Structure 1
Amino acid sequence: MGQALAAAFLAKGHPTTVWNRSAGKAEKLVGNGAVLAESAKGAVEASPLVVVCVSDYDAVHALLDPIGSSLEGRTLVNLTTASSTQARDAAVWADRLGIAYLEGAILGVPQDIGTDTATMLYAGSGTAFEKHQATLEALGDAATVYLGEDHGLAALYDMSVLTIMWGVLNSFLHGAALLGTAGVKATTFADMAVTAINVSADYVTGYSQQIDAREFPPTDATMNVHLGGMQHLLEESEALGVNTDLPKFFLKMVHRAVADGDAENSYASMVKQFRRK
């Protein structure tokens, strides 16, 4: 990912200094015009805008804590995956050292960087974002999103999007396993699965309005109706010898919602269960 980020800056004509713990990984970038710093300190001091993307926050602090004084007066954009707590703690650290700090999150894979496919999220110093927005747009042409002053928001959005991705993919895989018992190929199922995903996506706008209003009229189906369908899904999975963990989880959550008085409310009322510890 670090190579992809640097390559995107170079492609848009931004003078770029790079440093990596494994120097050989920078060879292609240097061949394309990047300057290779001899140390992390040298890379930091080469520009008013510093972008870091490493494996985790332990690596971030191992790299930057010893050279914190070199970051003073600069803008640091941290694109390392983090929790919201880590992001907010890092913001306190940066403020103490006089660093303008932006926490970022990348919604995409390395080959998306620098294209209209990548979505780049930023949270933290609004002044720093405004100052460097044009440069940061090199990383994601179509979607460079500033979320506000709360440094934790980039991480929270990142995790919230990932839970949707895994939820959708696990459900598709469970469906493919069910159909596979009848010899139906996943590629045959794919088009119908995409249609189902798109139909489900249409519910998001209406359900989000219900969640914010804390009112859950059953405009499509009640929780009891969903409960009946989920019971069929569990029975089918058991009968076909397909893993039942996912339908059992669905049922467990709906049973809790029904017990809490949401039997005749919409499925959006399930948010109450997810809000619990």
Structure 2
Amino acid sequence: MPTENASVTVIGLGAMGQALAGAFLDAGHPTTLWNRSPGKGDDLVARGALRAASSEEAVKASELIVVSVVDHDAVQAIVDPLADALQGRVLVNLTSDTPERSREVAAWAAERSIAYLDGAVMVPTPVVGTPDALLFHSGSQDAFERHESTLKALGGNTVFVGTDPGLAAVYDLSLLDFFYGSISGLVHAFALAKADGVKAVDIAPYMNTIAQIMPPIAEGTAANIDAGSYPGAEANLGMMAAGVRHILHAARTRGLDVSHLESITSVADRAIAKGHATGDWAATYEAIVNQD
């Protein structure tokens, strides 16, 4: 079992890679660094990190190797020449990409008997290393359990989601799907308000009303989708779709981009056409997965 101050190597010193390395250092882990291009990591070295002269030297410095680069093409370019050096070590890939790409790297590692964990960091860099930081891991359960205490230096909410190495990416993309849809809706809402002379900063405090009701809505919507049952006693889809059309009309009248509102309306209308007018908003799932 690794000790509490197990050594770690971090490959990739972009903003996220530096945040990961900093969290390991803060937790007392001897940390070795390597980056494809020179000139990064000086602050980390000043804090006690070791800068390796080569990627092979970096890998050989630790049992736990954490990679955080731009995409899985970059991951593959880095690890391909390191197959021999990675033998007997654990490769943790904290690079965002698709589930398919995660499984490809995992298959590469399995063919070479390299223990592999795929992962996703779900917080911005300032939150990395804090109790609130959420990270997903999937792949080798044995590797996760052996190094869990070390990996938790990156965040108090470090979760293993399954042995399918693509699952961390599934969780990652699902949460980001929600985030980007939400932040896009927020910006559009501010644009709608400003079109009538209301400052964004004036309406922003009231957005918390919507944010605070989302957790129970998320839980209920998830349960309804998994059950395939969409009770609309509190608010039915037909009524809510009418509300979306009011927003669409107002935004179009004010000359705003309405493409995302048109998409929302289209999905809702297809679900209604499938007989879900009296169901809740979760019924739009049927139109998303069945587009005929």
Taking structure 1 as the reference length, the TM-score comes to 0.96
Q: Is 1:109–2:124 an aligned residue pair?
A: yes
Query: How far 1:133 sits from its partner (Å)?
Result: 0.5
CA deviation map 1:12-54 (0-9, x unaligned): 1111111112232022211111111110011001111111111
2:40 counterpart SS class: helix
- Is 2:93 aligned against 1:73? no
Q: Distance in 1 between matches of 2:195 and 2:41?
A: 48
* Mapped pair 1:87 → 2:111: no
Residue 238 (structure 1) aligned with residue 252 (structure 2)? yes
The alignment partner of 2:41 has SS state of helix
Is the Cα–Cα contact under 8 Å of residues 168 and 197 in structure 1 kept in the other structure? Answer: no
Structure 1 counterpart of 2:27, one-letter code: K
Among 230, 238, 241, the residue aligned to 1:216: 230
User: What is the alpha-carbon distance in structure 1 between the residues aligned to residue 189 and residue 41 of structure 2?
Assistant: 43
2:68 is matched with 53
Is residue 164 from structure 1 mapped to residue 181 from structure 2 by the alignment? no
User: How far did residue 276 of structure 1 move?
Assistant: 3.7
Moved over 6 A (4+): none
CA shift at 1:186, angstroms?
Answer: 0.8
1:35-80 deviation line (CA, Å, top 9, x unaligned)? 1111001100111111111111111111110111110111000001
Can you give the 5+ residue segments of structure 2 that lack an aligned partner in the other structure?
1-15
The amino acid across from 1:42 in the alignment is E
| Amino acid of the structure 2 residue aligned with 1:156 | V
Between the aligned partners of 2:215 and 2:190, the Cα distance in structure 1 is 20
Gap regions ≥5 residues in structure 1: none
Matched, 1:198 2:212: yes
Aligned-partner Cα distance in 2 for 1:185–1:262? 37
Q: CA RMSD in A?
A: 1.3
Q: Is the 8 A contact 1:51 1:78 kept in 2?
A: yes
Given that 2:225 and 2:285 are in contact with CA atoms closer than 8 Å, whether structure 1 keeps it comes out as yes
Partner of 2:221: 207
| Separation in structure 2 between the aligned mates of residue 38 and residue 219 of structure 1, nearest angstrom | 65
5 Å-filtered alignment, 1:131-146, equals 131-140=146-155, 142-146=156-160
Identical counterparts, % of pairs: 40
- The whole-number CA distance in structure 2 between the counterparts of 1:202 and 1:73 is 45
What is the number of equivalent residue pairs in this alignment?
276
The answer for the alignment partner of 1:186 in structure 2 is 200
Alignment-derived partner of residue 100 in structure 1: 115
The DSSP-based 3-state class of the residue aligned with 2:84 is helix
- Rounded to whole Å, the distance in 1 between the matches of 2:163 and 2:52 is 32
CA contact (8 A) 1:224 1:264 kept: yes
Distance 1:133 1:155 in 2: 19
